[in-house]
Chain A
Amino acid sequence: MKYLPVKSVAAVSGFFVCSAASGADRFPPPEFRETGHKLPQTVGPLRQFPFMDTVDIIVLTAALAVAAYLVLKVRRRKWIFLLMVLCLGYFGFFRQGCICPIGAIQNTVFAVFNGGYTLPAVVAAFFALPLLAALFFGRVFCGSVCPLGAIQDIFALKPVKVPVWIAAPLGLVPWAVLALAVAMAVSGAGFPVCRWDPFVGFFRLGGPWRMLVIGGLVLALGVVVARPYCRYLCPYGALLGLASRISYRRLRTSPDECINCRLCENSCPFGCIREPLRRGIYHRREGLVKLAIITAALPLAAGAGLVSGTLLGNVIKKTHPTVARYEKIRRDQQLTSEHREFTASLETKAWQDPGAIAMFNDRLDSFIRNPSWPEDGATKELLKTFLESGDRNRDELRMKLLARKAELAGERTATAVIIAMVFVGIAGWIKLVSVNLRRHHTGHSPDPALCFSCGRCIESCPVENAKRREDRESC
């Protein structure tokens, strides 16, 4: 199937003499004097439900409000689970996983850095509302509303405890995903979070095999490692964790004083229950050595980010559509003309298409008549040399302009990736600092940054159960 179009392109363009004219009236349209036939309208079907955006915003707001109420006031896992399933049905299978806040991060930064794109209201709402909710009520979005979280939550059947030495460094991955997604969105290299969304294929009940295989693997892993995407990949979860850390209120396991029975530890499939930390005796000398090591690690972390960013930037810049297209055309130009006939990529065929060349010539003609110089210095230089040479070698100019465009896109991507990786290095350093800070607290409680507000620990708490019994009896 994949090769069919290529063959037909070769066959057709070989059979006919290609003409540069596009939309030429080779055959004048008839007037239909005899029958008075009326021309039908050109069909362009419109959206069936044009108001879905508004509905989405309303449903999201309502779901977040109900989730906060259930997590903070009702405190019953079964109701939270029900809301989660309903939201999986609506945002997942009915709205087919698009739009979601995880992808909306990219649109938001793309809009900030790109003059031609304004963030639509529905995308802004999906980006901002869950974060706003997290600032006040914790990560209620993750546990009850997010369809990607819900589908994994259902598959979390036999969760195992992930050792700290694996979990802590893996906790940095969401920040790396966030930084790289932002870098790629800003530089126009695409929206990687959406392209590699593991579950959208399930929501649409079909899709490219790559999407379905990755989704299946993540779900299979999710049977033993609960919510693997949420914990070790989701870039929006990283932001929500940050907001939840300073949230006004959030889920509490015990309604009253914790009795340290440790039942909640086993109930949490995500391993985010914090043990109590008593005020210990610290040696001043030990602390100073630690401080010195950690301070020395900052330039190291930033340097590691710089190096890995440079290496990664060179790889990622090749995935930029403009760069990839130019590379294919450039490679084919090195082939002999005979070879090119048979092995050239579709990109080269499109590049040599008479219509495309005619379009370029039209644009160049209008430029010569009325020059409006581009901002980029090198592009300007190219056009100047061309004009001075007296309108010769248009093909060469066309290729050079494309090369410059690809170069610019590549540079932009590489720089953005370097900045992103330095940010990841510094984020890693902050993580190191926070691991070494020992803030004492009593009782078992969910980690404010990691808790998804799923409500499982509440059900396991004997204090809560005793309170419920009391309430029932007093009724």
Chain B
Amino acid sequence: MTEKNNTEKRSNQDSISRRDLLKWSTRGLGLIGLGTITSLAMRQGEVKAEEYVWQIDPDKCVQCGRCATECVRTPSAVKCTHNFKMCGYCDLCFAWFSPVEGEPGTGAEDRMCPVDALKREHVEDVYYEYKVDRDLCLGCGKCVMGCRTSGNGSLYLQIDRNLCMDCNDCAIGRSCPADAVVRIPAGQAYIHKGKSG
């Protein structure tokens, strides 16, 4: 009786250990698979980046206005940015004055900016300095369009890294008609317009 019990026990132990071996080897395979995929993903690519950010390529941007409407944030994380070194400091600024009558109720009727986010200050002679109030700016790109078509093109739209939520599937990027929204390593941001940012 005892002997029989013993053999039963041993065979039980054997079967358990066989099952354990199977389980441990499957687990090991799972671990190896997980490690392989993750390390492959981390080794790919030329640039080792700690994080990626969305940026607008100002040379490709055509100021369609979708940045203001498509972003998951309201107001949009896209803000008008100014490269002062390219600016002509014009008195008759095409980003400041609107060529057509503005819509009633949106800022001043003769202004490009619908929310009065573009400010100007007299410097000397006929020269004015233009600054963007980023808290007010909607990212609609109307001033950028004016500056690009008739001025030096010193204004451009760019994604504010402090406001951007880093959506994996950037809503602006998906709907950009000019394919101007790019994902780049954080070290390469900001993409500024012109050579001298």
Is B truly associated with A?
A: yes
Contact A12 B146 (CB under 8 A): yes
Q: How near does chain A come to B171, taking the closest CB pair, in angstroms?
A: 8
Q: Which of A2, A114, A127, A248 contacts B44 (CB 8 A)?
A: A114
Q: How near does chain B come to A299, taking the closest CB pair, in angstroms?
A: 27
Contact B149 A117 (CB under 8 A): no
Contact A346 B41 (CB under 8 A): no
Looking at chain B, what size class is its interface with the partner chain?
Answer: 35 or more
Q: How near does chain A come to B165, taking the closest CB pair, in angstroms?
A: 6
Contact with B along A99-110 (1 / 0, CB 8 A): 000010011110
Q: How near does chain B come to A165, taking the closest CB pair, in angstroms?
A: 30
Q: Which of A22, A118, A211 contacts B148 (CB 8 A)?
A: A22
Contact A120 B160 (CB under 8 A): no
- A392, B15: Cα distance in complex, Å: 78
Q: Which of A192, A207, A349 contacts B72 (CB 8 A)?
A: A207
Contact A23 B161 (CB under 8 A): no
In the complex, what residues of A have CB within 8 A of residue B26's CB? Answer: 246
For residues 82 through 101 of chain B, which have their beta carbon under 8 Å from a beta carbon of chain A?
A: 82-90, 94, 99-100
Any chain B CB within 8 A of the CB of A4?
yes
In the complex, what residues of A have CB within 8 A of residue B169's CB? Answer: 190-192, 194-195
Among A39, A107, A206, A349, find the residue whose CB has the most chain B CB atoms closer than 10 A. A39
Known A-B contacts A112-B40, A128-B34, A243-B30; A42 and B81 likewise in contact (beta carbons under 8 Å): yes
Known A-B contacts A6-B65, A27-B90; A37 and B72 likewise in contact (beta carbons under 8 Å): no
In the complex, what residues of B have CB within 8 A of residue A325's CB? Answer: 177, 179
In the complex, what residues of A have CB within 8 A of residue B86's CB? Answer: 23, 25, 29
For residues 22 through 48 of chain B, which have their beta carbon under 8 Å from a beta carbon of chain A?
A: 23, 26-27, 30-31, 34-35, 37-38, 40-48
In the complex, what residues of B have CB within 8 A of residue A321's CB? Answer: 173-174, 179
Contact with B along A1-28 (1 / 0, CB 8 A): 1101110110111011011001111111
- A313, B151: Cα distance in complex, Å: 46
Contact A112 B41 (CB under 8 A): yes
A-B contact count (CB 8 A): 241
Contact with A along B145-185 (1 / 0, CB 8 A): 11011111110001011110111110101100111000100
Contact B38 A5 (CB under 8 A): no
Contact with A along B92-113 (1 / 0, CB 8 A): 0010000110010000000000
For chain B, what secondary structure do more than half of its interface residues adopt (helix, strand, loop), or is it mixed?
Answer: loop
Q: How near does chain A come to B136, taking the closest CB pair, in angstroms?
A: 14
Q: How near does chain B come to A106, taking the closest CB pair, in angstroms?
A: 7
Contact A42 B82 (CB under 8 A): yes
Q: How near does chain A come to B70, taking the closest CB pair, in angstroms?
A: 9
Q: How near does chain B come to A28, taking the closest CB pair, in angstroms?
A: 7
- A289, B160: Cα distance in complex, Å: 65
* 6 additional contacts (CB under 8 A) given A37-B123, A98-B165, A349-B62: A12-B149, A29-B88, A42-B192, A44-B192, A98-B168, A115-B46
Instruction: Give chain A's interface residues, CB within 8 Å of chain B.
Output: 1-2, 4-6, 8-9, 11-13, 15-16, 18-19, 22-30, 32, 34-35, 37, 39-48, 53, 96, 98, 103, 106-109, 111-112, 114-122, 124, 127-128, 131-132, 135, 190-192, 194-195, 204, 206-208, 211, 243, 246-248, 321-322, 325, 328, 345-347, 349-351, 353, 355-356, 359
> Lowest 5 A-B CB distances belong to which pairs?
A5-B65, A27-B88, A111-B41, A118-B45, A119-B41
21 A-B pairs (CB sep. < 8 Å) = A1-B69, A4-B65, A5-B66, A11-B100, A12-B145, A26-B88, A27-B90, A30-B125, A34-B124, A37-B129, A42-B197, A43-B134, A44-B158, A45-B161, A108-B38, A114-B44, A114-B45, A117-B52, A120-B52, A194-B167, A208-B72
